[in-house]
Amino acid sequence: MRFSFPRLPAFRVPTPGRRFSDTSAFDKTVSAVFRKVAVNGVIDEMALVVAMCHLHFKLKKHVPGVTRTPTREAVQEVLGGFDANRDGVLDETEFHRFAKEWWDNTGAIWVYRAALVSAVTFVAVPELAAAARLKIPHGTDVPKGVWVAAAGLLFNAVSTAVAARMERADA
């Protein structure tokens, strides 16, 4: 099985100007993680778990919610997918290539999620609440805030159920 990053449905989110992964700050962060974890200039499977967690938490400080803590299974797939010379370890160049691709893909997904959640929170939920308030008999007797809160709870319940179903389908 080859490691693959999740892709956005049918399009890539455009990023204005330079991407964060093209900056010297990103390179310094990745290099610092590599130096901290590498043994004899390489990262093996066990060290890669630690390196990915370090990278995740360092980047999470700057942009919360962008990346997820990696699992051991994902790390095994990463090792196979980015180990160019197939020696079972990642050198610094391979680790930088991995970190750049990981950030670019998970960062783009974060932007997509943020836009979607904002649209739902600020447009769909209030509109659903307003429509329900007008269509249900005596709905106007209930304050608007109660309708918006109920619509928000309904959205959260549905999205949680859908997410759980998708995880079961992936397993």
Range of the domain at 161: 113-170
Closest CA to 55 of 31, 80, 22: 31
Asked if residue 11 belongs to a domain, the reply is no
Question: Tell me, what's the pLDDT at 69?
Answer: 66
Q: Is the distance from CB of 42 to CB of 34 less than 8 angstroms? A: no
Question: Tell me, what's the pLDDT at 36?
Answer: 92
Question: Tell me, what's the pLDDT at 34?
Answer: 92
Same domain, 89 and 24: yes
Structural domain ending residue among the three candidates 110, 126, 160: 110
Total domains in the chain come to 2
Same domain, 63 and 81: yes
Query: Residue 167 is inside which H or E element, if any?
Result: helix 144-170
Tokens of 115: 């836009």
Name the pTM for this structure. Answer: 0.53
Question: Tell me, what's the pLDDT at 16?
Answer: 47
Same domain, 43 and 62: yes
Same domain, 123 and 49: no
Same domain, 101 and 139: no
Same domain, 32 and 104: yes
Q: Is the distance from CB of 108 to CB of 12 less than 8 angstroms? A: yes
Same domain, 98 and 137: no
Question: Tell me, what's the pLDDT at 64?
Answer: 57
Tokens of 10: 């049918």
The tens place of each residue's pLDDT in the chain, 171 residues long, gives 444 544 444 444 444 445 667 778 788 888 999 999 998 888 888 888 888 888 877 776 666 555 666 677 777 777 778 888 888 888 899 888 888 877 776 655 556 666 777 777 888 888 888 888 889 888 888 898 888 888 888 888 887 887 777 667 655
Q: Which residue has the tokens 């609440």?
A: 129
Same domain, 105 and 28: yes
